[in-house]
Amino acid sequence: MARFIGVEEIEALAVGAAVLGTGGGGDPYLGKIMAQEAIKEFGPVTLLDPSEVPADALVVPVAMMGAPTVFVEKIPNGDEALHSLRRLEDYLGKKAFAVMPMECGGLNSTIPFVVAARAGLPIVDADGMGRAFPELQMETFSVYGVSGTPMVITDERGNWTLLNTVDNAMMEYIARGVAVRMGGVGHIAEYPMTGDEMRRTSILQTVTLAIELGKAVLESSKKKVSPLIAMEEALIKSDYGKPIILFEAKITDVDRTTAEGFAKGTVNLEGINGSEGHEFRVDFQNENLIAYKGDQVLATVPDLITFIDLETFKPLTTETLRYGFRVACLAIPTPPIMRTEEALKVWGPKYFGYDLPFIPVEKLNEGMIVNGK
């Protein structure tokens, strides 16, 4: 079931990762270029099905942490995350069997391919968020009992830090402080785990899903048609639910602030294509969190909420949203492993400060007529 991932699959992966990134996770563009360059230099990367990893083999998620805006200005050497992996291996006294993504949305969907290509290691087709989230303890690995530490964080100058913390919230807190003092970005290896732990705590086959979603979008975009049907085909084979177009609308206003290291704000929209006369709103904190029609809640985190540009049919990240854009607001039901009681404590609407219960998007929109008609 293992297969090779080359330059073209990375192209699709970056687009699919923007869909699963729900507006955040960083623009996958630079990560895509880095992964493609590494593959050109070192050859294609083997993508392993989770079932192919031995029970006791060491699997290590690798990623970038910090502000994606800084990442673009302070371009990495490309070997920082690999350095973190090597130092973690030294500390554990064990070599990694494979690396994997910690999230399948945004920038961090492609960063592990840079490490894998350079190290000659395979990547496991799974991740710990099934989307993008802003913090390191927001991972299914953490929810289901894997320790995030020992972890290593390395910067582009060669500074590096090994962390051991009493819990994963403290790991996030200290690592964030280190990343800030490294200039806003650090490259990490964290949540070292066995093959069995990976299978028990991950969202499975999400790299494949992101590649298929990306292909769906790229083909639809070429044909200038909605990618919805093609996306649905990809999602049906996954642990995610059927996608729903919540509304189509025109952006009337984007209100953003940068607060406590996050891009926070609200997108206001007025309905088009059958939703005329209705006002919509999407709140975000790096990622899109809650979608409203007037005062009615249409979808909440951790279900995925993504804007699709109705000109290009491509997904839009939060920082690109502007007055006048015509968009479809797409919701994707998150996999069951993301919706358990213990999982919702970590990333339900309440964690983000909303006095709202989590109600699955397919329930909130039960019997809805697609596109408000």
Name the residue nearer to its own copies (CB basis): 109 or 149: 149
Asked if 93 touches its own copies (CB under 8 A), the answer is no
Which tokens belong to 299?
């979808």
* Minimum distance, C-beta of residue 352 to its own copies, in the bound complex (Å): 22
For its own copies, the binding residues in 168-197 under the rule CB under 8 A are 170, 173-174, 176-178, 180-182
Q: Which of 36, 108, 147, 161 binds its own copies (CB under 8 A)?
A: 161
* Minimum distance, C-beta of residue 178 to its own copies, in the bound complex (Å): 6
Q: Which of 54, 120, 164, 340 binds its own copies (CB under 8 A)?
A: 164
Bridge partners of residue 249, in order along the sequence: 271, 327
* Minimum distance, C-beta of residue 88 to its own copies, in the bound complex (Å): 11
Asked if 312 touches its own copies (CB under 8 A), the answer is no
Asked if 367 touches its own copies (CB under 8 A), the answer is no
Of 99-107, 160-168, 234-242, 299-307, the segment contacting its own copies by CB under 8 A is 160-168
Name the residue nearer to its own copies (CB basis): 181 or 322: 181
Asked if 92 touches its own copies (CB under 8 A), the answer is no
Asked if 261 touches its own copies (CB under 8 A), the answer is no
Asked if 310 touches its own copies (CB under 8 A), the answer is no
* Minimum distance, C-beta of residue 92 to its own copies, in the bound complex (Å): 12
> Of 110, 119, 107, nearest to 36 (Cα)?
110
Binding residues for its own copies, rule CB under 8 A, total 19
* Minimum distance, C-beta of residue 172 to its own copies, in the bound complex (Å): 10
> Of 216, 359, 227, 353, nearest to 297 (Cα)?
359
Q: Which of 165, 221, 252, 371 binds its own copies (CB under 8 A)?
A: 165
Residue position matching structure tokens 């992101």? 210
> Of 188, 326, 345, 151, nearest to 250 (Cα)?
326
Residue 141 makes CB contacts below 8 A (sequence gap 6+) with 61, 102, 128, 148, 191, 193, 197, 201, 202
Which tokens belong to 246?
């919540």
Which tokens belong to 143?
């929810």
> Of 364, 317, 236, 361, nearest to 20 (Cα)?
317
Counting beta carbons within 10 angstroms of the beta carbon of residue 1, is it exposed (0 to 12), middle (13 to 18) or buried (19 or more)?
exposed
- How distant, in Å, are the alpha carbons of 279, 313, 369 from that of 326? 14, 10, 20
Query: Which residue ranges make up the site for its own copies (CB under 8 A)?
Result: 157-166, 170, 173-174, 176-178, 180-182
